Structure 1
């Protein structure tokens, strides 16, 4: 017996927001897996920039590159939640977006080393214009939301033209201000498009929450992988580093595991009840994803410092981990905890974030940070769960 014949082209109609058993598809999982290559390429130069005491240029480059990765991933995710037809054309168009992600990953090195964003821009534009084709398909099939889809297609196309024109901007133009203007233009497109007649798009709250959760896992896993490579390289230099590296490895693993625990302690789908709340929640994850990946870079810096390959102080080494951890805690609190929690527990995450920023002032900053996160997990899992949720 043979299975059902696949369709080449299906009508791209909006999916039901209450569709049961709406889970991530194999194509979405493959999409995430390919995107993590770009995440790894962005985190590695950040690690080396910090270790070589080039903090500000490295951080600027990382945040700029990570925006392109995150924004392209996020727009595909929300589109797929509403219009995943899984026909052959849809799959091929998604593979074009994946190819764009790999082109972007190939351009990370020149962007960090030479401030050359040409390859990254090409990869980014490939990903975004492939999504324009998807929105045009949606505009033909989903008549009630035709205006929304056309606004997306128009807005994304115009902004991509601006990104391309940026490559020919005079060298005297400041890079960062121009970049920020284009970022604001990009993130304004969904806000403008969703206000059209027939909106908003029919994203699935459970599906969106799962997709974000899976990408959080992948980014945290990339942190573990980055740290593992650094540990392996250090161990190859000799056994006299074994004890200090073992201590760092245990503490680093506890930190990453605690970050995972805190993110997944509560379900997020009930928070995605309005388009305004969903956009705030979705946009805020830029900081969660970027800080999670930066933790891996920070662990690599800690290994370099322990093996005397870093050109920075122990305090700055501690901040290479403590700062992304603090940012992660704050935004997990802002997006996941604050809408749920009431009472004194509402302040546990912000207090922990502040205390995390104090750990580099000690001699065992990573170990103390691990202890702090374990305490936060314990408090959040006991006292925090005794307080009734404010949302269902």
Structure 2
């Protein structure tokens, strides 16, 4: 083990240490137990948002449900993003850093507790307060980074602190504006939130670690997939207990499981850290994961809706219930291709697999009771075709390695 990892491990027992940028070439840079704990606590918020989406869809209120879900999931995803990129650059792992992170976790739990009230009655007070708790800790972390650095790096940290604070004040509009104006405020504030990193890092790029960031996003994908499996399992169990309609439920359960397994395979089929050379690639890739994470969680919600409809408990048609699964699965496939997989695909056939499969999954909506199972079969075939084409033609990364330019060190040199 190199000296840097040893120093990082030793720092865990320190009360306070100077917060300096971690090196992008640091070896053995992996997710810490604290980061994993932070991710797991977000499962509560993801489950709350997904549950409210299911409730709205089965009651035939798709507009209200989808809009509320998109808003709540943006808030969940953005809070996770704020911490993840900061920790990749400035994780000191001392007592103060850990304490501030635990405060953020407390804010996540308060936020999660307010999701049902925001969905049902438009009361955002608990959600705003939970975000305030998270933001106070996040601003304190950025101020600490600013005090520990100099020059452009300090200016970047202070810009983050100012931008995050200003956005939190802007969200106060959710508490006072009428219902019709809140959606427009949310859209405007979401744009402002995403503009903060672009503005803050225009002169200095924080020292996030490409391999660490790729791992963190991958781990959160697994956590959201796990929540999807859990929600679908509970829905199947409840339906069996109440109706014992195994003949109706098994195709949905089997198809849903195939979709989830395929989603895992598709996301992790290619390495991505070599693509994350600078902020230009990283921002687009990171922001695009709003749709990746959101669609994964929506697959679980869709499976629940399909089960509710199959057992006669949903006020929607079979076509609409099937569409909640197929639309989410198709969106996942296309978004993963657009921001993630296509950078390592080689040739038109490999590039076409996921977009074509997304269209085929959408077409499965018309298959009635068999729609989910058929979509699962298409997703499974997608994986099989992708594996076959890769085995025959390799990937862009493999081609680059053959030319001697595909190592991680080469990727860093190009950055």
TM superposition score category, shorter chain reference:
over 0.9
Q: Residues 251 and 372 of structure 2 are in contact (CA less than 8 Å); yes or no, is this contact kept in structure 1?
A: no
1:50 aligns with 2:50: no
Q: Residues 11 and 94 of structure 2 are in contact (CA less than 8 Å); yes or no, is this contact kept in structure 1?
A: no
Structure 1 residues 250, 9: CA separation in 2 closer, same or farther (over 3 Å shift)?
A: same
1:256 aligns with 2:264: no
Post-superposition Cα deviations, 1:117-141, rounded to whole Å, max 9, x if no partner, equal: 2211211222122111100111111
Q: Residues 315 and 361 of structure 1 are in contact (CA less than 8 Å); yes or no, is this contact kept in structure 2?
A: yes
Query: What are the residue-to-residue correspondences of 1:36-115 with 2, within 5 Å?
Result: 36-115=43-122
Q: Which stretches of structure 1, 4 residues or more, deviate above 3 A after TM superposition?
A: 384-392
Structure 1 residues 368, 118: CA separation in 2 closer, same or farther (over 3 Å shift)?
A: same
For 2:11 and 2:301, the matched residues in 1 are separated by 46
3-state SS of 1:71 partner: helix
1:338 aligns with 2:342: yes
For 1:218 and 1:343, the matched residues in 2 are separated by 32
Q: Residues 267 and 341 of structure 2 are in contact (CA less than 8 Å); yes or no, is this contact kept in structure 1?
A: no
Q: Residues 122 and 179 of structure 2 are in contact (CA less than 8 Å); yes or no, is this contact kept in structure 1?
A: no
Q: Find 1:205's aligned residue among 206, 210, 214.
A: 210
Q: Find 1:119's aligned residue among 116, 122, 126.
A: 126
Structure 1 residues 247, 274: CA separation in 2 closer, same or farther (over 3 Å shift)?
A: same
1:26 aligns with 2:33: yes
Structure 1 residues 161, 354: CA separation in 2 closer, same or farther (over 3 Å shift)?
A: same
Task: Give unpaired runs (5+ residues) of structure 1.
Answer: none
Q: Which residue of 2 aligns with 1:265?
A: 269
Shift of 1:388: 4.4
For 1:128 and 1:378, the matched residues in 2 are separated by 44
For 1:295 and 1:260, the matched residues in 2 are separated by 13
Q: Which residue of 1 aligns with 2:169?
A: 161
Query: What are the residue-to-residue correspondences of 1:237-386 with 2, within 5 Å?
Result: 237-239=242-244, 241-341=245-345, 342-363=347-368, 364-386=370-392
Structure 1 residues 377, 277: CA separation in 2 closer, same or farther (over 3 Å shift)?
A: same
3-state SS of 2:395 partner: coil
Post-superposition Cα deviations, 1:183-237, rounded to whole Å, max 9, x if no partner, equal: 11111000000113xx100001110000000000000110010011111111111
For 2:253 and 2:367, the matched residues in 1 are separated by 18
Shift of 1:166: 3.8
Q: Which residue of 1 aligns with 2:5?
A: none
Q: Find 1:146's aligned residue among 149, 154, 163.
A: 154
Post-superposition Cα deviations, 1:25-61, rounded to whole Å, max 9, x if no partner, equal: 0000000010111000100010111111110100000
Shift of 1:347: 1.4
For 1:245 and 1:307, the matched residues in 2 are separated by 8
1:390 aligns with 2:391: no
1:222 aligns with 2:227: yes
Q: CA RMSD, aligned part only?
A: 1.5
Q: Which moved more, 1:142-151 or 1:261-270?
A: 142-151
Q: Residues 129 and 156 of structure 1 are in contact (CA less than 8 Å); yes or no, is this contact kept in structure 2?
A: no
Post-superposition Cα deviations, 1:86-134, rounded to whole Å, max 9, x if no partner, equal: 1111111001110111011001111111111221121122212211110
TM-score, scaled to structure 2: 0.90
